[in-house]
Amino acid sequence: MTDFSSLLFKYRSYTPIPFLILMLIFQESTILTLVIGFTISMVGELIRFWGVSWTGSETRTTGSVGGTFLIISGPFAYVRNPLYVGNILIYLGLGIMSFAWFPYLQVVAILFFLFQYYLIVKEEEKYLRERFREEYKDYCKNVSPFFPRFVPYKNKSVTQPPFSADAGLRSETRSLQAFLGISLMLVILWIIRGGLN
């Protein structure tokens, strides 16, 4: 892993913070932006929860890239990086909720996260190609990294871990708390700035 990609991978949970701070400071929410944005973010969170219910805590690593299984079940049957797709939807939804510097801040944030995930995914996929070889090659040939298929990819020869909503919830607790906390702050700021009048 290159030094820069390694840095992005290690601190990927913290890179949204500057954007979130700007969203809170320059918030110009309306009831419509709050509802639409929250709905988009919730879709992203549900995709993440579905994904981590298959991967468990392995996605929480901040050290080196790795993984025990080649996950092709759940959302991974539709898109290779559903957790990153979920993240982008969460950030986009929060940006719409805040309506801060709309649409410029949201566009810059999405471009930044696409760039960040592109570099991280390149490193993750290098590991997966070396570890899972032909199985991963076939998976990549059939499933896009960021644009979902309409029908799920299937390969019965690839061993899958069991689906566990409990493990998913344990893994996703911090992300869910952060998402709901920021959403609540945006609603409170909207109320303080006269949103109920």
How many domains does one find in the chain? 1
CA-wise closest residue to 89 among 41, 49, 133, 128: 41
Per-residue model confidence as pLDDT tens digits over 63-87: 445 567 899 999 999 999 999 999 9
pLDDT at 9: 81
C-alpha 37/C-alpha 65 separation (Å) is 32
Confidence of residue 62 (pLDDT cuts 50, 70, 90): very low
Whether 161 is in a domain gets the answer yes
User: Which residues make Cβ contacts (< 8 Å) with residue 32, sequence separation at least 6?
Assistant: none
CB 44 within 8 A of CB 88: yes
Q: Is residue 197 situated within a structural domain?
A: no
Is 61 domain-assigned? yes
82, 95, 149, 171, 186 from 65: Cα distances, Å: 17, 29, 25, 17, 34
Residue showing tokens 């969460």: 90
DSSP 44-113: HHHHHHHHHHHHGGGGG--SS---SS---SGGGGT-S-HHHHHHHHHHHHHHHHH-TTTTHHHHHHHHHH
* Residue 12 resides in a domain: yes
Q: What percent of the chain has pLDDT over 70?
A: 93
Residue 195 pLDDT > 50: yes
* 115-170 pLDDT per residue, tens: 999 999 988 898 899 999 999 999 999 999 999 999 999 999 999 999 999 999 99
Contact by Cβ (8 Å): 80, 149 = no
Residue 186 lies in a domain: yes
- Domain containing residue 79: 3-192
Nearest Cα to 157, choosing from 66, 69, 50, 54?
69
CA-to-CA distance for 173 and 152, rounded, in angstroms?
Answer: 27
CB-CB contact of 116 with 12 (8 Å):
yes
Q: Report the b/e string of 100-129 with b at 16+ CB within 10 A.
A: beeeebbeebbeebeebbebbbebbbeebe
Most confident of 5-9, 12-16, 33-37: 33-37
Write the DSSP string, 88-100.
HHHHHHHHHHH-T
Task: Residue count of the chain, please give it.
Answer: 197
